[in-house]
Structure 1
Amino acid sequence: MSTLRRVLLVVAALLLAIPLAPPASAAPVLVWSDEFDGPSGTKPNSAKWAYDIGNGSGGWGNNELEAYTNKTSNVALNGSGQLVITARRENSGMACWNGGNCQYTSGKLTTYNKIGWTYGRIETRMKLPYGQGIWPAFWMLGANIGQVGWPNCGEIDIMENIGREPNTVHGTIHGPGYSGAGGIGAARQNGQAWSAAYHTFSINWTANKIQWLVDGTVYQTRTPADLGGRTWVFNNKFYLIMNLAVGGQWPGNPDGSTQFPQQLGIDYVRVYQG
């Protein structure tokens, strides 16, 4: 055997002995976003967002006191790259569940009938409002709600905060047999009020698993094993909602300490997949 051939055989043997590293997984791809760039006082992109209007059925099912509008006094870009949803104490001129007209106005945006997703990293950067009876939320509903109703469609609450808990945000899932007060979730505490600065709230959502994150740190994971045999309804298409409610069964109503107007600042909303 020639010396060259002997060297080639040794090199080949050494290469075969080296374990191959697994291929690097592809980074998630940004598939949809809104950065809320635009002139101050303008409405959000109507190709991406729709409005819910009024007080809904039974105060959106929660005895809420606000009437949602599509007015720029309640929902508008601020000209600095953020969308601002503003809750105001004023006569809405719209009927409230408890009789008369709702005495608060605010905003609620949704991607219903525009776009939805199955799985991904769903993320927003927000600065929360504060005060008794104030209830901001960033959440998702199953796109089949029109066919199966709630809670069978499923609900993923990515972030909720109630004003009497200024240092606490909640992440929760709701579905058949685990809805309302029976939703399954956890809270994340902060050393200062969430209203003091912008924070990033997100979920990592895959088949049969949802993780909740604040500022990039996972604080909760849910899988079908958490449901005690009840049905996991989170492998379907969901759409986004963000709103600023006033009053309701969970947060309670505003009182003399609550200051208005209150504002929910949204720096961006982004959806990654892959």
Structure 2
Amino acid sequence: MKKQFLIYGLLIIGALLLSYYILTGMNTAKVNETATDLTTLVWADEFDVDGPINPEKWFLQTQLPPGGSWWGGLIQHYTDREENTFVKDGYLNLVAKKETYTDQGETKEYTGARLNSKFAFTRGKVEVRAKMPKGTGTWPAIWMLNTNIDEDGAYWDNKGYGKVKWPACGEIDILEHWGKNQDYVSSAVHTASSHGDTVENLGGRTVDNVSDDFHTYSLEWTKEKMIFEIDGVTHYEYNPTIKNKDTWPFNNNYYIILNIAIEPDIDPSFTESAMLVDYIRVYQ
């Protein structure tokens, strides 16, 4: 009988120890899942090699949407030419030009570039050091879209991922700058509940000399919230109380987009201006 009690006692102790280790492991996994140090570099482009952009990292999106113009009445063609996108002296140059250019049966008077990253990720920190173009009517942006966006001609849609229409797919604008509001930089989050011209999830601030000096624009994206900063100073935080498919479609892979668009109110004297990017780095 004593031997049986000893065996039962050892079994109970073993079960308790096993439960302890399981619970300890679960807590550790939970802590790691919500960790926000975001210091491990997982992807980057330092733009150190002169010439065309790295085709292993970037895709040049040129296909027009239905109707022959980009959304919002934009009046440029995006091209895959080196005249609009190239690396020189350690900087990516995205160049908007005034020129007559015909593509896909449509003739337009301005050209620009729209890059899709071939890297996509869920949660992390993005840092971009960049200088904005000049000119009323220029609209540069550094932003992100869900790989599941149904947009013909986009890199991930071409790969078969496109299933969800905008804005339900979700959009993260790390920065936008309008030449008609020089030096004001905006960040925004577009979702099914807040999007387009009436988007409510946005914030920004005026920054001195964004077209003459480089500044560092960043996004920190965790399970709980998104924090947008310029030179380490926060100007907007998105953290909806209720997180569902309408407010938080941000549990999927997103890719980075760089572009310069041209608005219809472009200054008639505009000829050419570039967004320069020193580096892009993604940490997790």
Cα distance in 2 for residues equivalent to 1:51 and 1:172: 24
Matched residue, 1:10: none
2:202 pairs, out of 185, 207, 214, with 185
Q: Indicate conservation of the 8 Å contact 1:208/1:232, yes or no.
A: no
TM-superposed CA distance for 1:225, in Å, is: 2.4
Distance 1:239 1:179 in 2: 19
Q: CA deviation at 1:129?
A: 0.5
Q: Please, what is the CA RMSD of the aligned residues? A: 2.1
- Provide Cα deviations, 1:124-166, integer angstroms capped at 9, x if missing partner: 1110011111000000001111111111110000000001111
Matches within 5 A, 1:242-261: 242-247=258-263, 252-256=264-268, 258-261=269-272
5+ residue gaps in structure 2?
1-34, 150-161
Question: Where does the alignment leave 5 or more consecutive residues of structure 1 unmatched?
Answer: 1-23
Matched with 1:116 is: 120
TM-score for the superposition, normalised by structure 2: 0.78
- Aligned with 1:204 (options 208, 220, 225): 220
2:274 aligns with 263
CA–CA distance in structure 2, aligned partners of residues 45 and 71 of structure 1: 13
> Residue 125 and residue 25 in structure 1: after superposition, are their counterparts in 2 closer, same or farther (change >3 A)?
closer
Q: Segments of 4+ in structure 1 off by > 6 A?
A: 226-229
In the superposition, the TM-score normalised over structure 1's length comes to 0.81
The CA deviation string for residues 90-119 of structure 1, in whole angstroms up to 9 with x for no partner, is 1111258xxx511111111002xx320111
Q: Is the 8 A contact 1:55 1:64 kept in 2?
A: no
- Counterparts in 2 of 1:240 and 1:163: CA distance versus 1, 3 Å: same
Contact 2:38 2:283 in 1 (8 A): no
Change (3 A) 1:177 1:90: same
> Cα 1:25–1:152, aligned 2, differ >3 Å: closer, same or farther?
closer
Q: Distance between the aligned counterparts of 1:231 and 1:35, measured in 2?
A: 33
What number of residue pairs does the alignment pair up? Answer: 236
- Note if contact 2:143-2:172 (Cα within 8 Å) is conserved in structure 1: yes
Contact 1:91–1:103 under 8 Å retained in 2: yes
Paired with 2:75 and 2:274, the residues of 1 have a C-alpha distance of: 16
The 1:143/1:54 distance shift into structure 2, 3 A limit, reads: closer
Matched residue, 1:72: 82
My pick for the range that moved more, 87-96 or 216-225, is 87-96
